[in-house]
Structure 1
């Protein structure tokens, strides 16, 4: 069984920029998406939209031994090891990315009350970016401020890759948000944006992945324990 990880670390801007240009290659690493963090809901023209001192990496591995070796021996891996990461079991996808062509639509079973990690990866149509920002920013704020998330962020690799990452107390609370049924102000923001996407797609590629968190390691901005117990 393959395993996924999501990493966060504070690095030198040159290190992040280098990883954005050329992602790492290592034994047992099947694919890595390296991105610079951006603050959810931040103004479009703002330093918060591209934070080169804060890097995220979403990756797929053969096994946990490959992760351990990468974090101990690889130059970028050793720097990521100073931050935080969560190890993930794949459960489900909506749509598909060329980077992960063999993932089945569903893998295994789950309880609606268990914690869940959601990751989206999108390759933007550049001419659709203004529409995406118009409809996407309200969704960013919905997820960022939702009482059922313990960590929610977005990241980007210019010019066209955008990713979101969120940890939820339960699958049922995440699904309620998706369907516009959360007990929060203006709960239909996500559903409305999806309707607009189906009318005219923002992306060349887009996929949402659901994962079971297996373990978390390290700290992020002085905190740990993001996965609900």
Structure 2
């Protein structure tokens, strides 16, 4: 299982927390994979950063390990004490494609599931929808995580393409919330988004003209050195993201 945590601090003191949190997370029992992420402003993937808002993406051995972290970790205690706003969601991996830092973060969750899914976000997507892990019949909200290491020679092309894809994304009625994030300025970027259902994800991934054009350029010109696209069933959300829980109701 996985979890995503979005924390907003009242000031830029969050910068020092990032450095202090890394060794604590490395020692956290049952945490099999994690990334601390800075975030962009609002829902954007543009280069500007929100230095008060940070995220943690984590993969856990089981639900008990996550509960132990939330109840006993000094990181979680600080979130409760010092954060101006926080939002947390539990995630069941459904399917995924690719690597993050040379690893498959979800190898233990779905045996044989690696490479079953390639989301159609910037850089993702395949010609056949049947090949990318959108099984029919599942209802309810979907969370999508995309992550890429952008080749230095392709950074300019990537960031020139971002504003038009952002506008298309924000115009999707089925997108409940989204943000751009990164573990390293400019070159290692990620997105996390919540959708009303799988049909809305498909509509954006494969029917948006701007987005489809960008996908073609990414593949043709080799923008990414490494990429990961994953789809989840979100559950157990708590707290607020920009004042509301986007999964409420």
Q: Please state which band the TM-score falls in when normalised by the shorter chain.
A: 0.7 to 0.9
Give the match for residue 222 of structure 1: 243
Q: Is structure 2 residue 92 aligned with structure 1 residue 71?
A: no
Q: Is structure 2 residue 181 aligned with structure 1 residue 155?
A: yes
Q: Is structure 2 residue 167 aligned with structure 1 residue 141?
A: yes
Q: TM-score, normalised by structure 1?
A: 0.83
Q: How far apart are the structure 1 equivalents of 2:137 and 2:45? A: 34
Q: How many residues align?
A: 216
Q: Is structure 2 residue 161 aligned with structure 1 residue 128?
A: no
Q: Is structure 2 residue 174 aligned with structure 1 residue 172?
A: no
Give the match for residue 103 of structure 2: 99
Q: 3-state DSSP class of the match of 1:139? A: helix
Q: How far apart are the structure 2 equivalents of 1:21 and 1:204? A: 29
| Residues 43/57 of structure 1: CA separation in 2 closer, same or farther (3 Å cut) | closer
Q: How far apart are the structure 2 equivalents of 1:164 and 1:78? A: 26
Q: Is contact 1:115-1:171 (8 Å) kept?
A: yes
Aligned-pair CA distance for 1:93: 1.2
Aligned-pair CA distance for 1:196: 0.4
* Residues 15-94 of structure 1 aligned to structure 2 (within 5 Å): 15-19=14-18, 23=22, 24-25=25-26, 26-39=28-41, 40-41=43-44, 44=47, 49-81=48-80, 83-94=86-97
5+ long unaligned stretches in structure 1: 181-186
Give the match for residue 125 of structure 2: none
Give the match for residue 126 of structure 2: none
Q: Is structure 2 residue 232 aligned with structure 1 residue 211?
A: yes
Q: Which runs of 4+ in 1 moved over 6 A?
A: none
Give the match for residue 8 of structure 1: 6
RMSD: 2.5
The more displaced of 99-108 and 170-179 is 99-108
Tell me the alpha carbon deviations over residues 109-157 of structure 1, each in whole angstroms, 9 at most, x when there is no partner.
Answer: 6635431110011122223111111123321222223211111111122
5+ long unaligned stretches in structure 2: 117-132
Q: Is contact 2:37-2:183 (8 Å) kept?
A: yes
